[in-house]
Amino acid sequence: MMMTTELNFRSTAIKRMPGGTDFWVFVIAESLLFGSFFVTYICYRSGSVELYNLSQQALNRGMGAFNTAVLIVSSWSVVQALEAVRKGRVKVAPRYLSLSIVLALVFLTVKICEYQDKFHHGITLATNKFFMFYFVLTMIHMAHVIIGTVVLIVLRQRLVQGEYDRDNMNVLEMAASYWHLVDLLWIFLFPLLYLLR
Amino acid sequence: MTVDKKTCLQWELLSAWSGVAFAVTYAFTFGYLGHTLPQPFSPAASAQELAQLYMKHLWDLRLGWMLSLVFISLYMPWSAQISMHMKEIEKHSRVLTWTQLISGALTVYVVSWGMLCWGVATYRPDRFAEITQTLNDIGWLSLETQWMITTVQMCAVAIVGLYDKRPIPTFPKWVCWLSIFCGWTFAPASLTFYFKSGPFAWNGLLGFYVPYAAWLVWALVLSYFMIKDVKRRMAMPERLHQVAAA
């Protein structure tokens, strides 16, 4: 009886963290790693503020802001997808995931356009320290977006095939947590690289 | 007559512990004797400056690389032990089990090669400084840019561990996710081809401190759970061994 109580408590505790506590080790570790990127950027920036401010002017704030909105909406869409599964509206959920996937592709397209514009003007990650951070941090973030997009595409397919429902959606919750992390990281990256003066 | 079960389990326990021994000896030989702590020799140093550093710390470096080349071999039985645990989960195939084994063996090669270059640099410290610098470069870039070999090892374990549905999994799910995270912290190390200073150089935060710390932490965490699993199996009565093997 005690073991049953313990198992019930454990399963309740796991339900409180979307995707399970184990996956959150990964989420927290990633957050800390990116946090160290941000702190490193700020430390290096404090040594050459004028150079960083001048170089920052080459960035397209409009595109950066647009991409921020795109990712926020895609995160909202993932939330809607999971809500739909929880409410048993499993046929609606894939449409929300499709929207998230399309928005992710829009984000990637805008990012590639930004990079092409920089390269066209002869700016690369070797140009100066600011652009080193700009390219490396946004490319690492972009790699996370690509991985997340692939995961969303696979999960959307499995959702359509009926693999998930309200009692079996742990993998969906893990993917959603990962996607929200990717969104949150951009919400920090954008002001840090594009706006901080 | 074949080797008895008790002896086999003792070998497995030793192999699991060799991960701890590897991490400790590596930290001592690579970190302390190799003078990579508190910071490796800068890639921005000129050939003359680097040659002087090698002369200044010659005895430490020679001893460090000599010992590290010997003790890196501890990674081999340890990697074999990881596959022993994996094969109990990957029952209908062995593809990830063998991938881990291959990756573990190649990791030994990659790390050995780098340390060999550094050892060779200490052999004739009065040679042309540019040659010493070249050997130093090859050593560092060998370790820094061939990270995917070890990342594949770590992800292979993680993937199999995530599919372990046994009542007592060898590797808890959080260990699997930690493995994936640690493995991918190596990725920025490829940027060492581009930078000689800053956080992405081989003496920087993301080129050195994060990836090497992640690798050793992973080795220690995995060793802990493997030791625990082998000890649990050692304590099992014989009839339960037969049931488990079925």
Q: For an interface test with A, give the residue of B162, B165, B184 to mutate (most A CBs within 10 A).
A: B184
Number of domains in chain A: 1
Residue A194 C-alpha from the chain's centroid: 18
Structural domain includes residue A1:
no
Contact B177 A23 (CB under 8 A): yes
* CA nearest to B76, candidates B97, B99, B98, B107: B107
Question: Chain B: residue nearest A31 by CA?
Answer: B181
Tens place of pLDDT per residue across chain B (246 aa) = 889 999 999 999 999 999 999 999 999 999 999 999 999 999 999 999 999 999 999 999 999 999 999 999 999 999 999 999 999 999 999 999 999 999 999 999 999 999 999 999 999 999 999 999 999 999 999 999 999 999 999 999 999 999 999 999 999 999 999 999 999 999 999 999 999 999 999 999 999 999 999 999 999 999 999 999 999 999 987 666 655 555
Chain A CB within 8 Å of residue B163 CB: no
Contact A26 B180 (CB under 8 A): yes
Looking at the DSSP assignment, which residues form a beta bridge with residue B119? none
- Nearest beta carbon to residue B185 from set A33, A125, A132: A33
Structural domain includes residue A121:
yes
Question: Chain A: residue nearest B205 by CA?
Answer: A40
Distance from CA of B212 to the nearest CA of A (A): 14
Task: Provide the residue type at B153 as one letter.
Answer: Q
State pLDDT tens for residues B98-124. 999 999 999 999 999 999 999 999 999
Tens place of pLDDT per residue across chain A (197 aa) = 445 544 444 455 445 677 788 999 999 999 999 999 999 999 999 999 999 999 999 999 999 999 999 999 999 999 999 999 999 888 899 999 999 999 999 999 999 999 999 999 999 999 999 999 999 999 999 999 999 999 999 999 999 998 998 888 999 999 999 999 999 999 999 999 999 88
Structural domain includes residue A129:
yes
Contact B200 A21 (CB under 8 A): no
Structural domain includes residue A41:
no
- Nearest beta carbon to residue A26 from set B181, B200, B205: B181
Structural domain includes residue A190:
yes
Structural domain includes residue A23:
no
Measured distance CA(A99)–CA(A81) in Å, rounded:
10
Chain A residues with beta carbon closer than 8 angstroms to that of B189 = none
Contact A136 B187 (CB under 8 A): no
CATH of the domain at A77: 1.20.120.80
Domain that holds residue A150: 49-195
Size of interface A-B (CB pairs under 8 A): 45
Structural domain includes residue A170:
yes
- Nearest beta carbon to residue B194 from set A25, A33, A125: A125
Structural domain includes residue A38:
no
Vertex B74 angle, CA B68 and B80, to 5°: 145
Q: What is the pLDDT of residue B77?
A: 98
Measured distance CA(A13)–CA(A20) in Å, rounded:
9
DSSP B93: -
Contact B205 A40 (CB under 8 A): yes
- Which class for A31: exposed (0-12), middle (13-18), buried (19 or more C-beta within 10 A)? middle
